[in-house]
Amino acid sequence: MGSSFLVTTAIPDPGLQLLSDAGTVTVLPSPPDYETLAALCASGEYDVVLTQLRDVVDAPLLGSARVKGVSNFAVGYNNIDVDAATRHGILVGNTPGVLTDATADIAMLLILGTARRVVEADRLVRDGEFHGWEPELLLGRDVSGAVLGLAGFGRIARATARRALGFGMEILFAPRPPGHRLVSDEELGEFAGKVRQVFWDELVERSDFLSLHVPLNEQTRHLVDRAVLERMKPDAILINTARGPVVDEAALVEALRDRVIAGAGLDVFEDEPRLAPGLAELPNTVLLPHVGSATVPVRSEMARLSALNAVAIAEGRTPPHAVNT
């Protein structure tokens, strides 16, 4: 008898195909709530569950689960309590690598979109308010020569740096929030001599654009809070393509309202899909619905990787992309 897979939300065909070649696949018609997911995982009917970011897979759920593994359709896995999974002998897989460029494109898009006020400009045209070229219509700022500060220097930060260098930006980075290991010159590779490593405080204070590329964990939750926002330049712009809770969103709304900083480009939110009150009304923001990895090829590849992880776990092999072992 083949393996049995539970898919909480339909994924692109290449993934479903791989799963059905290996066993029985149950795709839920709509994303399950916590109790439903917990009950399905505890039923003993499934070898592996394929989860999405919105599925909360916490210690109590894992404690009662009778599955061999959880394969997350994402590179981030802050929705899963990996330590609890490890304690219960449950393997966790993710989809790194394939979404790096697509997400860096969105970071660059947010940098350009906030700098050049693209949402305001689009709205003006659609509202019939474009009355012809004007010398001072919707003046933005140059990205060329501006300082881009990268919080984190992993795959997506590096891909963003590559793009930003092409736009003539000066790049600073802080490897991870305070306390984390510095990146050696050797590890800088292609970036040696092109980017400068600084401490977090300098990054915050010198960046014209501060772009977040850190995973969400207890050290990075609310990494950008009111105090950090107050240390940023008054004309600085915050970019977040990482995870919403890295920013205290209520504090960000206040800071934008009070002009403590000039703008924000956000692809992720603290309590998705809800926005902090007031955020949507602020003109100096570009807001996207968590679409960093949303291209057809990337989502197909994520589906393939998450299915490969699931099949390997179900068959007792080490998944190609294991978060725990």
Catalytic residues: 243, 272, 290
Q: What ranges in 191-266 are assigned the alpha helix state H? A: 200-206, 226-231, 249-257
Nearest CA to 143 among 119, 128, 160? 160
Nearest CA to 159 among 297, 285, 150? 150
Angle at 248 between CA 241 and CA 96, to 5 degrees: 30
Q: Which of 266, 292, 305, 319 binds ligand DGY (CB under 6 A)?
A: 292
148 lies in the binding site for ligand DGY (CB under 6 A)? no
93 lies in the binding site for ligand DGY (CB under 6 A)? no
70 lies in the binding site for ligand DGY (CB under 6 A)? no
75 lies in the binding site for ligand DGY (CB under 6 A)? yes
Choose between 207 and 293: whose C-beta lies nearer to ligand DGY. 293
293 lies in the binding site for ligand DGY (CB under 6 A)? yes
Closest separation in Å from C-beta 259 to ligand DGY: 30
Measured in degrees and rounded to the nearest 5, phi and psi for residue 253 equal -60, -45
Distance CA 244, CA 83 (A): 22
Q: Is 107 helix (H, G, I), strand (E, B) or coil?
A: helix
313 lies in the binding site for ligand DGY (CB under 6 A)? no
80 lies in the binding site for ligand DGY (CB under 6 A)? no
Closest separation in Å from C-beta 136 to ligand DGY: 38
Closest separation in Å from C-beta 31 to ligand DGY: 15
Q: For residue 273, with 0-12 CB atoms within 10 Å meaning exposed, 13-18 middle and 19 or more buried, which class applies?
A: exposed
Closest separation in Å from C-beta 241 to ligand DGY: 8
Distance CA 67, CA 93 (A): 13
309 lies in the binding site for ligand DGY (CB under 6 A)? no
245 lies in the binding site for ligand DGY (CB under 6 A)? no
Measured in degrees and rounded to the nearest 5, phi and psi for residue 51 equal -110, 165
99 lies in the binding site for ligand DGY (CB under 6 A)? yes
Choose between 159 and 262: whose C-beta lies nearer to ligand DGY. 159
310 lies in the binding site for ligand DGY (CB under 6 A)? no
Closest separation in Å from C-beta 290 to ligand DGY: 6
74 lies in the binding site for ligand DGY (CB under 6 A)? yes
State both tokens at 303: 């589906």
Choose between 197 and 293: whose C-beta lies nearer to ligand DGY. 293
Closest separation in Å from C-beta 295 to ligand DGY: 10
Total residues in contact with ligand DGY, by rule CB under 6 A: 6
214 lies in the binding site for ligand DGY (CB under 6 A)? no
247 lies in the binding site for ligand DGY (CB under 6 A)? no
Taking CA atoms, 62 is separated from 39, 53, 84, 306, in Å, by 11, 16, 7, 19
Measured in degrees and rounded to the nearest 5, phi and psi for residue 100 equal -60, -55
Cβ of 179: how many Cβ atoms within 10 Å? Answer: 7
Measured in degrees and rounded to the nearest 5, phi and psi for residue 170 equal -90, 130
Q: Note the residues at the interface with ligand DGY (CB under 6 A).
A: 74-76, 99, 292-293
